[in-house]
Structure 1
Amino acid sequence: MPTLALVLIVRNEERCIGRCLASAAAYVDEIIVVDTGSTDRTKEIVLGHGIPVFDFVWDDDFAAARNYALSLSTSDWNLVLDADEYLTDFEPQFIRQFMNNPRQLGRIQIISETVVEGEENEVRGHITRLLPTGVGYKGRIHEQVDALYPRMPIPITVRHDGYLGTDKSGRNIPLLLAEIRDAPADPYYLYQLGKEYEGKHEWEASLRCYSQSYELLQGIEPYAPSMIVDYVYMLIRIKRLSTAMEVLDAYADRLAGFPDYHFVCGVFYLDLILSDPDTYLPYLPRIEAAYLRCLEIGEDSGYDGVIGTGSYAAWYNLGNYYEVLGRQKDALHCYRKAADMGYRKAMQRLPEIM
C-alpha cells in the first residue's frame, strides 16, 4: 500500500502548528517539518509531538525550501500543507486508491477565511497539494508544482486562517517583483502583485498590476476567472466604470457559469446607475438579473471563488435591491432566505424593516 507523508515548511507558527499536526496525524505515515528560522516556540511544539525538526536557511525562495522538505520524505506520496492550514475532511479509502497511480497529482479544496472592509468572508480554492515522490516546486513565491501529470480533484478539504490579522506584503512584494523581473510577461505574478497592493490599500498600484495582467491574459488560465472579477472590483473602486464595462462584456460568455462574475455585475450596474441616473437608469433590471443568475448557478459551480455569491450574499443583495424599489414583501423574502443560511447582515436587517 502506498505510504503518505505530511510535509511542512514553517517559521514562527506557535499559534497554529499544533492544530495542523493534530489534524493530519491519523492519515499519514510520517511527518516532515522544516523550520526556516523560527524565534518562537514552533520547534518546541513540534518536538513535543514527537516529530523531528529539520533546519533550512531561508534564501527568499519558497520552492527551494519546499523541495528540501520533500527531499527528506521517505514516503511514496507527499501531502503539502502550511502550518496555518488544517484538515477538516479526508477520505482515506479514496486517497489510498488514488495513490496507486503515481502519474497524477491531487488537487485539494482550501477554504480561506478573510476579512474585506470589516466583513468576514470565506474563499474556496483548489490547489495541487498531493504529490507523488520525485515531484517538486518551482518559483520563489506562489510556487507551482513542477510536473506535467494530470491534476485531479480529490476529497481532501483544508481550512486556512493565515490571512486574518497578518500583513505579509513586506515579504511577498519583493519576491513577486523578483519573479516579474525574470518573467515580465507572466500575468500570474502581476495578478498576485496587484492583490498585495490591494491589501495595502494602494489602489493605483494595484490597478496598474491588474491592468498589465489583464492585457497578457489568454483567458484560459485556471486563475483567470478570479483575476477578471478582482480587476473589475478595483475598476469600480476607483470609478473606471467604462473600462469595467468593457471587461465584463469581453468575458460575458466565458464566465457565464461563474457566480462571482454575475455578483460583481450586480455591484457594477448599481454604481453605474448612481454615477449618471439620467443616462443609465434603463440598466436597473440588470441588477436583479445578475443576482437571480447567481442564485440559479448556486454554490456548486465548479469555480474557485467567494462562498456566498451563489447563495446568501446574492439573496441579501437582491433584498437590498427590492427594498430600494419599495418591494417590501420581496425584500423580506430575500432577507429571510439569507438569514436562514446564517448570514449575519440579513439577520440584522430583518427586524429593521419588519
Structure 2
Amino acid sequence: MIVKNEERHLSRCLQSVKGIVDEMVIVDTGSTDRTKEIAYAFGAKVFDFEWVNDFSAARNYALEKSTSDWNFVLDADEYIMNDCGSIIRNFIEKNDRVIGRIKRVDEFIQDGEKRYAQSYLSRLLPKGVKYAGRIHEQVDSDLPRENLDIEVYHDGYVYTDKTDRNLKLLLLELERDSLNDYVLYQVGKQYKLQQQLQQAELYFEKSYHLAPSQSWYRHNLLIDYLYTIIGNKSFEKGLKLIETERDGLADSPDFHFACGLFYMDLIFSNVNKYIHLFPLIEKSFLRCLEIGDTDKYDSVKGTGSFLASYNLGVFHEVLGNTDKALSFYQQAANEQYERAIKRLELLR
C-alpha cells in the first residue's frame, strides 16, 4: 500500500486483509495524522517515501520493500468484501507468471442517489512486476491476466475530491507525451467529474481518435464520451458515434442505457427533426434488459436491470400506457430500487 493521511479508512482496510497476507508493507508519503500509528498497530512494516508527484515511483518502492513472492495491492479507501483467502492461495500455488485481477465495486453519487460501478483491476502480482505512469498508474507487464473471485469495495469517490490533484499530474504527463491516448482519456474523466463538460469532450474526442480498437479501457472511454456528448447536447456527433460503435458494443448494457438517454434528450431538443427516432428510446432500454447486468465490461449496477426497467416505466407513463408503466416499475421495485417503489405508490 501507499498512503497519506488515511486515518479515516486504514483500519477498515487492514482489518480485511490481516488474516490473508504474510506481511503488510505500507509506504507513507507524508502523513500528518494517525495513519502510521494505525499501520504499526496492525503489525505493518512502514516506510517513508518523499512524494515526487509520481504514483508509480511510490508503488514500485513499496514493491521493492516486500519480501514475498506475490504482492496484493490495495488502497486505503478499499477493503476486501468476501472470504477469499483460499482463492488467493490456490491461485498463487497453481500459477507462476500470471497476474490476478480483482473485482472492485465503486460507490459514487449520480442524480442524487448512490450508484455502484464494478471493474476488474490487476492487483495480485508476482514478484518483479512493476508499475508505470505518473498518475492512474498501470501494471507494466505483458503477463496473462485472470479474473478472480475477490471482491473489493471502494468508497473513496464519495468522501474525497481528488480531481484537482489528479488533473495536475495528468497534465504533466501530457507535457511529456501529448498523444498518449490513455492519459488524454483520464484528463477527460477529471474534467467530467468537475462538470467542465466542454473540456471533457475535447479530451475524450482526442483519445477516441487515437486509442487502438482493442484498448482495454475503450469501452469506458466510449461510455464517458457519450454521456459528455449528452451533457453538451452535441447531438449530431452523438448520432455518428452511436452508428460507428453500435455493432462493437452490441452486448454492453451501459452503452445501450446511454443510448436510451441520448435519444430522449435528442428528440426533445427538436421533436420535428428527430421524432422518427422515438422508437429507439424503448428499443435501447429493452436491449439493456435482454443483455442483463454483466461482468464482461466495467459496468454500473442496474443498467441491465432495475435502472433500465425504471426508465421504461417512465417512458410508458409519459405515453399514458399506465399498465405497461406499472409493470416496468414493478420489475425495478422487485430489486428494491427506491425511485420505482415511489412511482408505484403514486400511480396506485
TM bucket (normalised to shorter chain) is over 0.9
User: 199, 210, 224: which one pairs with 1:205?
Assistant: 199
Instruction: Report matched runs for 1:211-230 at 5 Å.
Output: 211-230=205-224
Maintained 8 Å contact 1:103/1:132:
yes
1:338 aligns with 2:332: yes
Instruction: Report matched runs for 1:173-322 at 5 Å.
Output: 173-322=167-316
Letter matched to residue 215 of structure 1: H
Instruction: Report matched runs for 1:90-169 at 5 Å.
Output: 90-100=83-93, 101-169=95-163
| Partner residue, 2:58 | 65
CA distance in 2, matches of 1:259, 1:163: 23
CA distance in 2, matches of 1:178, 1:36: 20
The 3 A distance-change label for structure 1 pair 174 and 136 is same
CA distance in 2, matches of 1:91, 1:51: 21
Q: Deviations over 1:243-266 (max 9, x none)?
A: 001001100010000000000110
| Partner residue, 1:3 | none
CA distance in 2, matches of 1:318, 1:218: 35
Maintained 8 Å contact 1:258/1:301:
no
What number of residue pairs does the alignment pair up? 347
Structure 1 range deviating more: 305-314 or 279-288: 279-288
The 3 A distance-change label for structure 1 pair 115 and 218 is same
Maintained 8 Å contact 1:90/1:155:
no
CA distance in 2, matches of 1:303, 1:201: 25
The 3 A distance-change label for structure 1 pair 181 and 32 is same
Task: Name the SS for the 2:81 alignment partner.
Answer: strand
Maintained 8 Å contact 1:211/1:231:
yes
CA distance in 2, matches of 1:97, 1:48: 29
Percent of pairs with identical residues:
47
Letter matched to residue 141 of structure 1: I
CA distance in 2, matches of 1:53, 1:347: 49
| Partner residue, 1:12 | 5
Q: Deviations over 1:144-202 (max 9, x none)?
A: 11111001111111000000132112211111011112222221111111111111111
Maintained 8 Å contact 1:78/1:131:
yes
Gaps of 5+ in 1: 1-7
TM-score, normalised on structure 2?
0.97
Task: Name the SS for the 2:119 alignment partner.
Answer: strand
How far apart are residue 22 of structure 1 and its match? 0.3
CA distance in 1, matches of 2:21, 2:86: 13
Task: Name the SS for the 1:30 alignment partner.
Answer: coil
Letter matched to residue 4 of structure 2: R
CA distance in 2, matches of 1:190, 1:306: 22
Task: Name the SS for the 1:86 alignment partner.
Answer: strand
Q: CA RMSD in A?
A: 1.1
Letter matched to residue 29 of structure 1: D
Letter matched to residue 51 of structure 1: A
Maintained 8 Å contact 2:24/2:43:
no
Q: Deviations over 1:222-256 (max 9, x none)?
A: 11111111111111111110000100110001000
CA distance in 1, matches of 2:17, 2:85: 11
CA distance in 2, matches of 1:14, 1:148: 35
Gaps of 5+ in 2: none
How far apart are residue 301 of structure 1 and its match? 4.7
| Partner residue, 2:43 | 50
Maintained 8 Å contact 1:259/1:301:
no
Letter matched to residue 262 of structure 1: H
Maintained 8 Å contact 2:132/2:138:
yes
Q: Deviations over 1:288-347 (max 9, x none)?
A: 111111011011251112111001100100100111111101111111111111111112
CA distance in 1, matches of 2:2, 2:232: 38
Task: Name the SS for the 1:219 alignment partner.
Answer: coil
